Every structure is written in structure tokens, then in C-alpha cells.
């Protein structure tokens, strides 16, 4: 049974920084392949969505989309078409100026979100609004936008999230 996680990095991040490396380790332990596309050439969120939608996931029985900040937005918008089993979002960039979408219809039954109370990029109320609308599990922590201070906890939670598949 082929299983895949596609991680979507943030606007000023890299495909294989601390978060994706930690999540990749958890995914591999759960029997998932893990890819992290390089979105650095384009900082326009909807161009990134098109890049994600161009990935052929037809060979996989289980697909999980993960994303941080702009990557969370990208994963959520693409989830409408990809229809992943799970959506794991880290400080997703929702309801911000410059992002085309303000309504979301992610076709994922299982959505989990990590966000920091000290996030000065994406206000916590934006994430609360999304989670309330989509009945997503929200994990609020005393952390900043990058959430690196809680990376070990998030990595374990991601492993637990993937264990359901």
C-alpha cells in the first residue's frame, strides 16, 4: 500500500529545513514516502498551488498534505482537488492580504493544525476561524510563527497523525 506525504514549505523557507526534516523522519517511520517540492522560484501562493497540483499522486492509495505558513495555504487550496486523507497544517497563512482565497473547501476528513500564540505573521484568530469552520483539531502553543521551539512535540504529533492511515 503506497503512502505519500507532500510537505509544502513557507514563503521564505527551504524545502529541507528543520521542520520538513523532522516531519520526514516521522513519516518514514510510519511507512510513508515524503517529498518536499522546491517552491522558492515563485512567491505567489496560487502559482505554488498549480505546482503542487501538477504532482501525480495516482500511484498512492494514501496521500497526506502538510504545509507551513504559505505552504499551509497551498496545501489547503490544493486539497480541494487532490482530496488527501489528511491535512496537517503549521501556522497556515489564512485570511491574509495578497492571498486570493478567503474561503476554503479542503476535501480532507482529517485536519490538524499547529499554531503559536506569539505568531506575529498569522494572527491566531485567523487559524481559529478556519478550524471552527472546518472542525479541525487545533493545537495552540506558546510559540512564534516558526514553531521551532515545539518541533519535537509537533514531530511526535505528526507521527501519531500518520498512524491513523
pLDDT value, residue 122: 98
pLDDT value, residue 29: 97
> Is beta strand 86-90 parallel, antiparallel or unpaired with respect to 33-35?
unpaired
- Residue 117 corresponds to which cell in the numbers above? 500564540
Q: Which domain holds residue 152?
A: 3-163
Mean pLDDT by 10 residues, the chain (165 residues): 96 96 98 97 92 97 98 98 98 95 95 98 98 97 98 98 96
pLDDT value, residue 53: 98
pLDDT value, residue 1: 75
User: How many angstroms separate the CA atoms of 160 and 152, rounded?
Assistant: 12
Output the domain CATH number for residue 90.
3.40.50.1820
User: How many angstroms separate the CA atoms of 37 and 49, rounded?
Assistant: 11
pLDDT value, residue 43: 84
Q: Alpha carbon 145 to chain centroid distance?
A: 14
Number of domains in the chain: 1
pLDDT value, residue 42: 79
pTM here is 0.97
Amino acid at each position: 500500500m503506497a503512502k505519500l506525504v507532500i510537505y509544502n514549505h513557507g514563503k521564505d523557507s527551504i524545502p529541507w529545513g528543520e521542520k520538513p526534516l523532522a516531519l520526514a523522519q516521522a513519516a518514514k517511520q510510519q511507512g510513508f514516502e515524503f517529498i518536499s517540492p522546491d517552491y522558492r522560484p515563485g512567491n505567489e501562493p496560487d502559482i505554488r498551488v498549480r505546482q503542487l497540483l501538477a504532482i501525480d499522486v495516482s500511484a498512492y492509495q494514501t496521500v497526506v498534505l502538510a504545509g507551513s505558513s504559505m505552504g499551509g495555504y497551498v496545501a489547503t487550496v490544493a486539497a480541494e482537488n487532490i482530496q488527501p486523507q489528511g491535512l496537517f497544517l503549521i501556522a497556515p497563512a489564512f485570511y491574509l492580504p495578497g492571498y486570493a482565497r478567503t474561503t476554503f473547501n479542503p476535501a480532507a476528513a482529517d485536519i490538524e493544525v499547529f499554531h503559536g500564540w506569539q505568531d506575529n505573521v498569522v494572527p491566531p484568530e485567523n487559524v481559529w476561524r478556519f478550524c471552527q469552520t472546518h472542525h479541525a483539531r487545533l493545537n495552540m502553543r506558546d510559540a512564534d510563527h516558526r514553531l521551532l521551539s515545539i518541533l519535537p512535540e509537533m514531530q511526535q504529533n505528526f507521527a501519531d497523525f500518520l498512524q491513523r492511515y
